A and B are shown apart, each in its own frame.
Chain A
Amino acid sequence: MPYMLLAPAVVVTVFIVFMPMVQAVVTSFYDLILWKPNASRFVGFGNYVKLFADPVFWTALWNTVIWIGLTVPLQMGLGLLTALLLNREFPWRGLARALIIIPWALPSVVIALMWRWIYDPNTGVLNDILIYLSIVQSAVPWLADPNLALYAVIATLTWQGFPFFAVMILAGLQGIPKSQYEAASIDGASSWRQFVHITLPGIAPVLATAGLLRVIWVANSMDVIFVMTGGGPGYATHTLPLYAFVRARQNLDFGYGTAIAVTFTILLGAIVAVYLARTMREVER
């Protein structure tokens, strides 16, 4: 009986999650270019061999590492700071808490377009302010400079994602009993020591879970990059999911595109497994 009741959920999961996954793995073993349907053939690990020799793959992999490695900690740091501020007593706190969620609630495409205009060297407000303050002499082409473009997009994504951390951490903060702080201050602990020994351990499970979710989301998200730069200039903002998308959907090279996607899934899966094993052990301790 219990299996019968579980069956519908299992069937749905198998069909909409596992079947496409298996199909993607199968596709990656084929030389499948969509506009040459008759030339499709089985090539085994051919696409993977090609992939490891492809300089764009390594560029994209490195960009992905920077992309995740900077975005998630920045979001977490900014979120933590915001949560600590929002946890204090001040007038209109309810309103501030509601407003802080706006970047998170906006659709990615809207955010991407908005920031594209902010960064625009000819009409953008960011350059205007920087020139007015004499920080730069002439407009900086934020998204057209290969050394800056990735960081400019990371800044955008940080802004978009920090409210998620802020809200999660705020919830965690409110779960810490007030009595612990009272006891600590009676013992003469400074606010810094209170933060390190009470606040941080109190929100550690939240940080671990939210961090994990964000790593996966940020790693997979390419909509903001796609709208802001399309992966350019050159390959400067290509991350692996974006590269897979460009190959599969724009060049219609589905065999190669899915090979990229499968490789990335394995890499991300490995990182997530290690992360889970380590942080969850820490948290449970």
Chain B
Amino acid sequence: MTNLRKFSIGVALATTLLAGSASAETVRFWYHFDNPENPMADLVAKFEAANPGITIEAENVPWNSYYDTLYTSLVGGNAPDAAMVKLFAQPRLVEMGALEPIGDKIDAWPGKTDLLDNLLELNKGPDGQQYYLPIQYVTLYLYYRTDLFEQAGLKPPTTCEEFRDAAIKLTKAPTTYGFGLRGGKGGWDQWGAFVLSQGGELKPGGLTNEKAVAANQWLIDLFQKDKVIPPSAPNDGFQEITGAFKAGTTAMTIHHIGSSNDMVKALGDKVSAVPVPECGGNRWTSYGDESLAVFSASEAKDAAWKWISFLAEGENNVAFNKATGQMTVTKSGSENWNLHERRFVEATVQSLPFAHVLPQTPATSEFVNTAWQTAMQQALTGQITSQQMMEQLEALFAQ
């Protein structure tokens, strides 16, 4: 008898819960944070308190398979309502018809004027519509060990020639190498500083021209001939290059402000940063963008918009960037920016004038995801020549 009564109470409870959730909306949100202690829960709680009736299900999706998972879930009809997205993915997402235009919503949103200048222009879709709302940014710069440079009587390099010279002088193999190159997944943005600065462009004819092939050869030579890059480079990813730099195995590496707090924790004053060197009279660095988007298949678009615009507003955006270690997109947040040491913020801001994004074509995704690393690894290990590597990569952009 008691069991039966418990059961009926349970049923009654379940019915009320179901009825309750029917009127509420749930927004499924995907993001990727490297930082294991992420304060997303606080932001969710703050939002839910301000917007009763909306529940946020925020899910941290591992970065290495983030886009694979996102594309497949979109096709499989199980996509989130909103997600963190990068510019290189936009052409594909637009082609899939997966994105919801949010231009009108942004125009009507009070936070619009607080966004840093030019960001919305930079984020425009390939068809001129606005799908992306910026959330954070970084630029890649050159980390260097101040103490090692001082001991060797060197200044941080401003040109490729100085860079090579410093790298050679700082290399004392096998304990120290001049430069930590990321030859594994995600290393294209380091490569860009040396090759895309010197005439390389991701378009037909843009990679196989003489200058670009020579620039690529120059980088390969740093590894093969000058031996200023650790022999593990072809397989090295983020963990390896930052680990080697923190351990003192490399004297320079290229990454962004997101790793600066960790670097300072390990090296203190012995680490600083400057913009990437000028190569062949030109500079190129990667503008690391991150935006938020609402998906067209979502059934809670308005609630999803409320949530993503909430994250792009003043102090919420600062809290968000505290977790990712990147830079806020708001003017109000930038004013009293104290989440990073000043020298890294300066190197980031100084890099903005020559920071670029990759061209918005569908082939860019494949270049970033698999093609670049496979070709680079083959070239570094001498299986193909610089010319062949560039031909392989250009073939992607031929269609």
Which A residues form the contact surface with B (CB < 8 A)? 34-37, 120-123, 138-141, 143-146, 149, 229-236, 246, 249-252
Q: A122-B230, A138-B174 are in contact. Are A37 and B75 (CB under 8 A)?
A: yes
Chain B residues contacting A235 (CB-CB under 8 Å) are 374, 378
A141 to B231 alpha-carbon distance, docked (Å): 6
A75 to chain B, nearest CB (A): 25
**Is the pair B377, A233 in contact by a Cβ cutoff of 8 Å?**
yes
Q: Considering the complex, which residues of chain B in the window 159-211 have a beta carbon less than 8 Å from any beta carbon of chain A?
A: 173-174, 183-185
Q: Kindly name the residue among A139, A145, A232, A246 whose own CB sees the greatest number of chain B CB atoms within 10 A.
A: A232
Annotate B378-390 by CB proximity to A: 1 below 8 A, 0 otherwise.
Answer: 1011011000000
Q: A230-B185, A234-B377 are in contact. Are A121 and B366 (CB under 8 A)?
A: no
Sample of 29 A–B contacts (CB below 8 Å): A35-B95, A120-B240, A121-B230, A121-B232, A122-B244, A123-B243, A123-B247, A141-B232, A141-B234, A143-B232, A144-B232, A144-B235, A144-B236, A145-B381, A146-B377, A149-B235, A231-B374, A232-B184, A232-B234, A232-B235, A234-B375, A234-B381, A234-B384, A235-B374, A236-B377, A236-B381, A250-B369, A250-B370, A252-B71
Chain B residues contacting A246 (CB-CB under 8 Å) are 370
Q: A233-B183, A233-B378 are in contact. Are A144 and B370 (CB under 8 A)?
A: no
A249 to B72 alpha-carbon distance, docked (Å): 8
Which B residues form the contact surface with A (CB < 8 A)? 65, 68, 71-72, 75, 92-93, 95-96, 173-174, 183-185, 230-236, 240, 243-244, 247, 249, 362, 365-366, 369-370, 373-375, 377-378, 380-381, 383-384
A260 to chain B, nearest CB (A): 15
A189 to B224 alpha-carbon distance, docked (Å): 59
**Is the pair A144, B233 in contact by a Cβ cutoff of 8 Å?**
yes
B364 to chain A, nearest CB (A): 12
**Is the pair B173, A234 in contact by a Cβ cutoff of 8 Å?**
no
A122 to B375 alpha-carbon distance, docked (Å): 24
Please list the 8 inter-chain residue pairs (A to B) with the smallest Cβ-Cβ separation, ordered nearest first: A234-B378, A233-B377, A141-B231, A144-B235, A233-B234, A144-B234, A121-B232, A35-B92
B380 to chain A, nearest CB (A): 7
A266 to B197 alpha-carbon distance, docked (Å): 48
**Is the pair A251, B366 in contact by a Cβ cutoff of 8 Å?**
yes
A36 to B74 alpha-carbon distance, docked (Å): 12
A146 to B370 alpha-carbon distance, docked (Å): 17
**Is the pair A34, B71 in contact by a Cβ cutoff of 8 Å?**
yes
* Overall SS of chain A's interface: loop
A112 to chain B, nearest CB (A): 13
Chain B residue nearest to A237 in the complex (CB): B235
A250 to B66 alpha-carbon distance, docked (Å): 10
A14 to B236 alpha-carbon distance, docked (Å): 44
Which residue of A37, A121, A229, A234 is within 8 Å of B383 (Cβ)? A234
Chain A residues contacting B93 (CB-CB under 8 Å) are 35
A132 to chain B, nearest CB (A): 13
Which residue of B184, B366, B375, B380 is within 8 Å of A230 (Cβ)? B184
A246 to B374 alpha-carbon distance, docked (Å): 12
A123 to B65 alpha-carbon distance, docked (Å): 26
A265 to B18 alpha-carbon distance, docked (Å): 46
Chain B residues contacting A122 (CB-CB under 8 Å) are 230, 232, 240, 243-244, 247, 249
Chain A residue nearest to B369 in the complex (CB): A250
Chain B residue nearest to A116 in the complex (CB): B235
B301 to chain A, nearest CB (A): 21
Chain A residues contacting B235 (CB-CB under 8 Å) are 141, 143-144, 149, 229, 232-233
A145 to B231 alpha-carbon distance, docked (Å): 8
A215 to chain B, nearest CB (A): 28
A139 to B175 alpha-carbon distance, docked (Å): 10
Chain B residue nearest to A146 in the complex (CB): B381
**Is the pair B234, A36 in contact by a Cβ cutoff of 8 Å?**
no
A203 to B384 alpha-carbon distance, docked (Å): 48
B59 to chain A, nearest CB (A): 19
A170 to B384 alpha-carbon distance, docked (Å): 48
**Is the pair A232, B373 in contact by a Cβ cutoff of 8 Å?**
yes
Chain A residues contacting B383 (CB-CB under 8 Å) are 146, 234
Chain B residues contacting A140 (CB-CB under 8 Å) are 231
Q: A123-B243, A123-B247, A138-B174 are in contact. Are A35 and B232 (CB under 8 A)?
A: no
Chain A residues contacting B72 (CB-CB under 8 Å) are 34, 249, 252
Q: A144-B233, A230-B185 are in contact. Are A138 and B173 (CB under 8 A)?
A: yes
**Is the pair A250, B68 in contact by a Cβ cutoff of 8 Å?**
yes
Which residue of A232, A234, A249 is within 8 Å of B68 (Cβ)? A249
A47 to B240 alpha-carbon distance, docked (Å): 37
Q: Kindly name the residue among B93, B244, B384 whose own CB sees the greatest number of chain A CB atoms within 10 A.
A: B244
